[in-house]
């Protein structure tokens, strides 16, 4: 096989290509049509086929590998290590599914999962998939306001949560944040299922909250058959940030997602049944959905669920796990590697990582020094891959399962099969030539596994993603990119106001709204500023209602802390700005638009660009002085 002909066929003969790939999963009833694209840009894959994600992740493997490892849970926070075989995972998921049914969850109902990285979170996701309920996992690092907006939009019947998580040895209580979120939300979930880890004491709400351990005992021997779903039914919603303050519910199907993941396991990750996959992401992000939970299990692999940081108890922990479980495929983020780069390098040579076929890195740009350092340190191939919550699996990378295509440092690689990637001029919509910067776009239909729509808002799906490039209905990634003469792409940052902090995607507008809720703040602007460790950090510029509130350095420091505290409480520490500067005026255009790109340029010591539309050039100058301190 060669990459170019496979890619070409996947675009020119979609039905043929994906029809064959679909055989990688098990179907209860075969599909009658590979692709229905009668209502662009909405694509329906494997129409009429019925299948189930949980069946393909667990039941399918029972005849051949019931007693093989399926889920390995390691917590360096609570010093636990537990292994579940496929048979044990099957039993736990059925128990959880029975609990959900008993709590009134039916096919199509939403279940919101707000949990730390513990096995019960995985059971809950797979149990939803089993009974045809739609899960919406919310990252455990988000706080009450972020959570409330997601509860309100997804309108879950049930929330599955835990007393708390732990990060870097510090307990993070979840229950008060959940209770506050439910108080803030107009929608009230009928029931809450609480896993009590005994990390943080909490008060159950009578009539609403159920104890997981007690209910599990009641359903200990439960047998819950799989509910067969039509390929295009909704499997899950995962919220992600965009330009507005309101997160978008990325909605995914069943059959297309299962096929895309199974296919990526073969062609991109080269994982085989019986092997072990270790992804260091979190189940709250898309990487966790695709490559902690569903992808490895659908591929018959064991998956490692790791609660902890890359440096506790020491900087060898990730490699120790690779050695202990003979991990063949590992997936992490550049930030984790940059964190390790600051530690004693001898940790990297202490363990035998020769089982690794490759280390995959994604979520943010992989800089050359980090890429070279890790490749040399572990002596294994490093594979950058570029994708988004919206796509569910890589858009750009190198598919070594198809052909040993060379990689280029700094480039995630080539368009993956199924993705008709183009670089289009932002204003004219014309395709640009080699080495010209333009918007990375995808000509629809999007391949299987990609988002179906925005939950509850087809119109917003079309207007957000398919209306931004003039003259043609194409999917915009909202990333800038260039392509070299050999067809390799390079990603140059977002075209919108989304920022990427340590691989976590955050909307500046949400952070601005949170900061503006502080009583002393009149208005503010948040920008992403380059950071050596995290890729980007959020930096805020706030205008006070009364400048006297921050007249002295002590006042400024106290107010900065107070503003950060508001963001911590509302959105979570993950969204906390690295700095809050107080200014008299925000640089704006004459029509009142904040010049975020110019502010960002000034913060990064770059030329602020075209300022012909600026209302008051003095505002940018003053801001520059403030940044320089
Ligand atoms: P998320 O939806 O949270 O996964 O964030 C997706 C965004 O992260 C993309 O639109 C890119 O801006 C960025 N991103 C993800 N992977 C890469 C990569 N390998 N190289 C550069 N940027 C990336």
pLDDT in tens, 539-552: 999 999 999 999 99
Atom of ligand 1 nearest to the CA of 361: 19
Write the residue with the smallest CA distance to atom 23 of ligand 1: 364
Per-residue pLDDT at 246 = 84
Determine the distance separating the centroid of ligand 1 and the alpha carbon of 291, expressed in angstroms: 15
Ligand 1 atom showing the smallest separation from residue 500 Cα? 8
Q: With beta carbons less than 8 A apart as the criterion, state whether 134 and 128 touch.
A: yes
3-12 and 14-21 helices, crossing angle to 10°? 110
pLDDT tens, 319-360?
Answer: 999 999 999 999 999 999 999 999 998 998 899 999 999 999
pLDDT for position 150:
97
Spacing, Cα 335 to ligand 1 middle (Å)? 13
Does ligand 1 have an atom closer than 6 angstroms to the CB of 397? no
| Residue 15, C-beta contacts closer than 8 angstroms, at least 6 positions apart | 34, 35
Q: Which pairs from 379-383 meet CB under 8 Å and 24+ separation? A: 379/353, 380/353, 380/354, 380/356, 381/357, 381/407, 382/358, 382/407, 383/358, 383/359, 383/407, 383/413
Model pLDDT, residue 526? 97
Please answer whether residues 189 and 158 qualify as being in contact, where contact means their C-beta atoms are separated by less than 8 angstroms.
yes
Among the listed residues 565, 577, 562, 573, the one whose alpha carbon sits nearest the alpha carbon of residue 527: 577
Q: Read out DSSP for 201-246? A: ---PPTTTEEEHHHHHHHTTT---PPPPEETTS--EEEEE--SSSS
Residue whose CA is at the smallest distance from ligand 1 atom 9: 388
**Any atom of ligand 1 within 6 Å of the Cβ of 364:** yes
| pLDDT for res 81 | 98
pLDDT at 456: 97
Q: Is residue 520 within 8 Å of residue 544, measured between CB atoms?
A: yes
Kindly state the helix (H) or strand (E) to which residue 140 belongs, with its residue range.
Answer: none
Q: What separation in Å is there between the alpha carbon of 546 and the centre of ligand 1?
A: 39
Nearest atom, ligand 1, residue 389 CA:
2
Verify whether ligand 1 is closer than 6 Å to residue 189 (CB atom).
no
Nearest CA, atom 20, ligand 1: 365
Cβ of residue 281 lying under 6 Å from some atom of ligand 1: no
What's the helix, strand, coil split of the chain in %, to 5? 35, 25, 40
Question: Looking at 244-294, which runs of residues are DSSP E strands?
Answer: 248-252, 276-279
Q: What spacing in Å lies between the alpha carbon of 452 and ligand 1's midpoint? A: 19
Residue 78 and residue 326: Cα distance in Å, rounded?
Answer: 23
Question: 266: exposed, middle or buried (C-beta count within 10 Å: 0-12, 13-18, 19+)?
Answer: middle
So what's the pLDDT on residue 316?
97
Question: Residue 611: its pLDDT value, please?
Answer: 86
Distance 264 CA to ligand 1 centre (A): 18
Atom of ligand 1 nearest to the CA of 390: 2
Question: How far apart are the CA of 61 and the centre of ligand 1, in A?
Answer: 32
CB distance 581 to 575 below 8 Å: no
Spatial separation of the C-alpha atoms in residues 540 and 606, rounded to whole Å? 18
Pocket test for ligand 1, best of 239, 493, 505 (most atoms within 8 A of CB): 505
Atom 21 of ligand 1: nearest residue by CA position: 365
The parts of the chain modelled with pLDDT lower than 70 are none
- Tell me the best of 332, 386, 414, 488 to mutate to test the pocket of ligand 1, counting ligand atoms within 8 Å of each CB and taking the most: 386
User: Which residue, among 599, 602, 577, has the nearest Cα to 588 in the 3D structure?
Assistant: 599
**CA pair distance 168, 76, nearest whole angstrom:** 9
Q: Could you tell me if the CB of 363 is within 6 A of ligand 1? A: yes
Distance, CA 491 to ligand 1 centroid (Å)? 9
**Measured distance CA(189)–CA(178) in Å, rounded:** 11
Q: How far is the CA of 509 from the centre of ligand 1 (A)?
A: 18
For the CA of 384, the nearest atom of ligand 1 = 19
Distance 387 CA to ligand 1 centre (A): 6
Distance 442 CA to ligand 1 centre (A): 15
Ligand 1 atom closest to the Cα of residue 504 is: 3
Nearest-CA residue for ligand 1 atom 5 is: 388
**Pocket of ligand 1 contains residue 500 by CB under 6 Å:** yes
CB 365 near ligand 1, within 6 Å:
yes
Distance 500 CA to ligand 1 centre (A): 8
Does ligand 1 come within 6 angstroms of the Cβ of 494?
yes
């Amino acid at each position: 096989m060669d990459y170019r002909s496979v890619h070409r066929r996947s675009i020119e003969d979609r039905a043929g290509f994906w029809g064959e790939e679909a055989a990688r999963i098990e179907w209860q009833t075969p599909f009658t049509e590979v692709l229905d694209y009668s209502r662009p840009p909405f694509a329906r894959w494997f129409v009429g086929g019925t299948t189930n994600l949980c069946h393909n992740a667990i039941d399918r493997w029972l005849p051949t590998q019931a007693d093989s490892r399926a889920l390995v849970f390691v917590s360096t926070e609570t010093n636990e290590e537990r292994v579940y075989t496929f048979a044990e995972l099957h039993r736990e998921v059925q128990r959880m599914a029975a609990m959900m049914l008993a709590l009134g969850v039916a096919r199509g109902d939403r279940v919101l999962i707000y949990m730390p990285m513990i096995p019960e979170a995985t059971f809950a996701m797979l149990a939803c998939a089993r009974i045809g309920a739609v899960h919406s996992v919310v990252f455990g690092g988000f706080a009450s306001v972020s959570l409330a907006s997601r509860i309100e939009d997804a309108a879950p019947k049930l929330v599955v949560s835990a007393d708390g998580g732990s990060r870097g040895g510090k307990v993070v209580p979840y229950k008060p944040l959940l209770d506050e979120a439910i108080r803030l939300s107009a929608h009230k979930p009928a029931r809450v299922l609480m896993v009590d880890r005994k990390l943080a004491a909490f008060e159950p709400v009578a009539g609403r909250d159920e104890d997981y351990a007690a209910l599990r005992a009641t359903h200990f021997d439960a047998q819950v058959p799989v509910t067969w779903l039509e390929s295009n039914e909704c499997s899950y919603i995962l919220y992600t940030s965009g330009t507005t303050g309101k997160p978008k519910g990325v909605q995914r199907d069943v059959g297309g997602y299962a096929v895309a993941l199974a296919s990526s396991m073969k062609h991109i990750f080269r994982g085989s049944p019986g092997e072990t996959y270790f992804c260091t992401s979190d189940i709250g992000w898309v990487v966790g959905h695709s490559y902690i939970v569903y992808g490895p299990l659908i591929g018959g692999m064991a998956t490692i669920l790791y609660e902890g940081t890359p440096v506790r108890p020491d900087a060898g922990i990730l490699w120790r796990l690779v050695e202990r479980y003979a991990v063949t495929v590992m997936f992490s983020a550049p930030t984790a590697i940059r964190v390790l780069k600051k530690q004693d390098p001898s940790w990297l040579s202490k363990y035998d990582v020769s089982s690794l076929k490759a280390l995959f890195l994604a979520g943010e740009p992989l800089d050359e020094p980090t890429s070279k350092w890790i490749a040399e340190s572990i002596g294994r191939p490093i594979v950058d891959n570029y994708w988004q919550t919206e796509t569910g699996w890589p858009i750009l990378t190198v598919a070594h399962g198809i052909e040993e295509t060379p990689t280029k440092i700094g480039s995630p690689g080539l368009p993956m099969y199924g993705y008709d990637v183009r670089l289009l001029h932002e204003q004219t919509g014309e395709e640009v030539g080699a080495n010209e910067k333009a918007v990375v776009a995808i000509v629809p239909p999007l391949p299987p596994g990609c988002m179906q729509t925005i939950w509850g808002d087809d119109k917003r799906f079309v207007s957000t993603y398919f209306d931004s490039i003039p003259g043609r209905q194409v999917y915009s990634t909202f990333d800038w990119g260039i392509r070299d003469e050999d067809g390799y792409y390079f990603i140059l940052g977002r075209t919108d106001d989304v920022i990427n902090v340590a691989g976590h995607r955050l909307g500046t507008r949400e952070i601005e709204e949170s900061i503006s809720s502080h009583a002393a703040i009149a208005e503010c602007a948040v920008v992403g500023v380059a950071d050596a460790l995290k890729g980007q950090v959020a930096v805020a510029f706030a205008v006070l209602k009364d400048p006297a509130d921050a007249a002295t350095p002590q006042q400024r420091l106290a107010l900065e802390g107070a503003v950060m505290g508001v963001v911590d409480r509302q959105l979570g520490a993950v969204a906390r700005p690295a700095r809050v500067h107080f200014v008299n005026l925000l640089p704006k255009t004459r029509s009142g638009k904040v010049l975020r790109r110019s502010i960002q340029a000034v913060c990064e010591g770059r030329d602020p660009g075209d300022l012909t539309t600026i209302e008051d050039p003095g505002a940018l100058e003053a801001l520059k002085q403030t940044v320089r301190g």
